Structure 1
Amino acid sequence: MRKRNKFFMVLGVLTLSMILYFAFLHSLIRDHTTIKVPLDADYLIILGARVKGEIPSLSLQYRIDAAADYMKNNKETIAIASGGQGPGEDISEAEAIKAGLLAHGISSNRIILEDRSTDTVENIRFSKKLIPDHLETGLAVTNDFHLYRAKLIAKDQGLNLQGLPAETPLVAIPKSYLREYLAITKYYLVTLFN
């Protein structure tokens, strides 16, 4: 009986600790989506997400829409469309982003393709090499749940990016946030032990 009570007490403490930790991460994520988006950024880095054949996933479509709205109101801002081609994708994520921006009426001469990256670290690293030298202020464009980690990764790469949050599709919220809590935890651990 004592062992059983001790087991449930330890289990309860671990569960409560995990809930508090995820609540802490959630507050960090939310803090980075409520910061005012600066006007007249020189460039956007639009981070890729899944493409089904040639059709952007809803998450990626929301990123494209947010970037296009910003570019319509900030006529000098250029976009770096970032993302390679993964399994089940007939075109690269960058090409899907470009097609989406063109459909919004954004001129192709304002779009640079980065179509080799396979994850957020590579999105930022490879995109950084494509930023024209005279441009200074940039925004990372991604879904709200992803923005905090994207900005941390950008800082690691020597880029001080602000964020332009796109909505997260309602149906994807539970899965996206849970995966992001785990990805942030992995980022913390890798950073700690490197």
Structure 2
Amino acid sequence: MLLYVPSALCLVGFCVGVVRDHRRLSNGVLLGLTVVFAVVAALLQLGSVKPGLSGDVAFGLLVTAAVAVVVLAGFLLANGVTMVRKEGRSLANLVSLGVGLALIVLIALLVAALVLHSRTLAAVAGTAVVLAGYVAFLFVCFLFYAALYQRLVFWRRGDFVVVLGSGLIGGSTVPPLLASRLEKGRKEHTRLSRRGRRPVLIVSGGQGPDEELPESHAMADYLVERGFPADLIEREDRSTTTEENLTFSQALMHTKNPASRCVIVTSNYHAFRAAITARRVGVRGHVVGAPTASYFWPSAVIREFIALVVHYRRLNAAILLVVLLGGLFLWWWGWPPTNHI
């Protein structure tokens, strides 16, 4: 049973982290490590009983992972084409296509290393696989914990509902993405009102250079036109980023109740990163996500993950450097041997 101690320790760390503050990416990493260590322990335990079977299982897992990479690459390429066709050729809309192409390049690099029997190429491919594995592990942790976060019930009460803006069509019209957030905000407001509260709904969004009015004003007009009480709406019309959305909205909340809590509404793909930002700026609130078009979701989720990687850039840069130096050292030491390529 000692084999499972690392997994158990990570699980305890995960539970403690969720109780202390569930708006942390480290909780997702601990959950991922719990699973990884448990699988490794199970394989080692199986190997001590049936050595041949454990090898077969490990090989099966490796083949499954390889097939999954190929399928994922094809899916991302197809999604990238759909994004360009429906949303245009902006850099943000090319994310899924770019990741799909990167996976194809990685596969081609591995095949070339095996076919050409080049030690240098094999070392480069091995280092690339380790880096890809690290990024894939982080992404899976982010993906599953972000989904779990939206199902947690902590902080699902509040004196305010804050709806984050996302841009306007034609400089004045609420687009479907933002309309989905506003409808979700209405539902959260209704849910809180049923509990005897009379929360204020804050619409948050400033005016972009190509917009005729602040996003928050268009958002408020959208709600009032559909019967929402105008006296329960506050406009935060200075923000241009998620951090500013939350910081300026918090200032409005503090003028009414310094100890207030809130429910923050954004799109489902953006919910977890918004929660991390809320924790960082000191907003006491839980984030809920509004539905997003299925074709838009993969690319948007990847963008959110990239933004988190950039946010923790020092740690990730250090790990990247260690992997690169490790690969260079092993190559210099003579790895992999040419007779094993």
TM-score by structure 2 length?
A: 0.52
Q: How many residues align?
A: 192
For the pair 1:103 / 2:221, whether they are aligned, the reply is: no
Q: Equivalents in 2 of 1:61, 1:37: separation in Å?
A: 26
Letter matched to residue 232 of structure 2:
R
1:60 corresponds to 2:178: yes
Deviation at 1:152, TM superposition (A): 1.9
Matches within 5 A, 1:1-194: 1-36=118-153, 41-52=158-169, 53-75=171-193, 76-131=198-253, 132-133=256-257, 136-189=260-313
Identity %: 25
Cα deviation per residue 1:12-66 (whole Å; 9 max; x = unaligned)?
A: 2222222111111112221221223766521011111021122222221111010
What amino acid is the match of 2:174? P
| TM superposition shift of 1:124 | 0.7
Distance (Å, rounded) in 2 between the aligned partners of 1:57 and 1:35: 29
SS of the residue aligned with 2:295?
helix
Structure of higher CA gyration radius: 2
- The alpha carbon displacement at 1:134 in A equals 6.4
When residues 8 and 186 of structure 1 are mapped into structure 2, their CA distance, relative to the original with a 3 A threshold, is: closer
Structure with more of its chain in strand, by fraction: 1
Amino acid corresponding to residue 273 of structure 2 in structure 1 = R
Letter in 1 for 2:139: F
TM-score scaled to structure 1, two decimals? 0.88
Q: Structure 2: which 5+ residue stretches go unaligned?
A: 1-117, 317-341
TM-aligned CA distance change 1:8 to 1:150, over 3 Å = same
- Is the 2:184–2:290 contact (alpha carbons within 8 Å) kept by the matching residues of 1? yes
CA spacing shift, 1:157–1:59, aligned 2, 3 Å = same
Q: What is the letter of the counterpart of residue 176 of structure 2?
A: L
The 3 A distance-change label for structure 1 pair 74 and 103 is: farther
Measure, in 2, the Cα distance between the counterparts of 1:40 and 1:155. Answer: 16
What is the RMSD computed on CA atoms of the aligned residues?
Answer: 2.2
Name which structure has the greater RCO, CA cutoff 8 Å, separation 6+: 1
- What SS does structure 2 have at the residue aligned with 1:30? helix
Secondary structure (helix, strand or coil) at the match of 1:80 reads strand
Of 138-147 and 34-43, more deviation after overlay is shown by 34-43
Indicate the structure with greater helix content: 2
State how far apart, in whole Å, the 2-side matches of 1:158 and 1:21 are. 25
Contact 2:162 2:265 in 1 (8 A): yes
Tell me which stretches of 4 or more aligned residues in structure 1 moved more than 6 Å: none
3-state SS of 1:12 partner: helix
Q: What amino acid does structure 2 have at the position aligned with 1:65? A: E
Deviations for 1:102-135, whole angstroms, at most 9, x for unmatched residues? 1331111100000110101100111111111266
Structure 1 residue ranges without an equivalent (≥5): none
CA contact (8 A) 2:161 2:188 kept: no
Question: In the alignment, residue 139 of structure 1 is paired with which amino acid?
Answer: V
Amino acid at match of 1:122: E
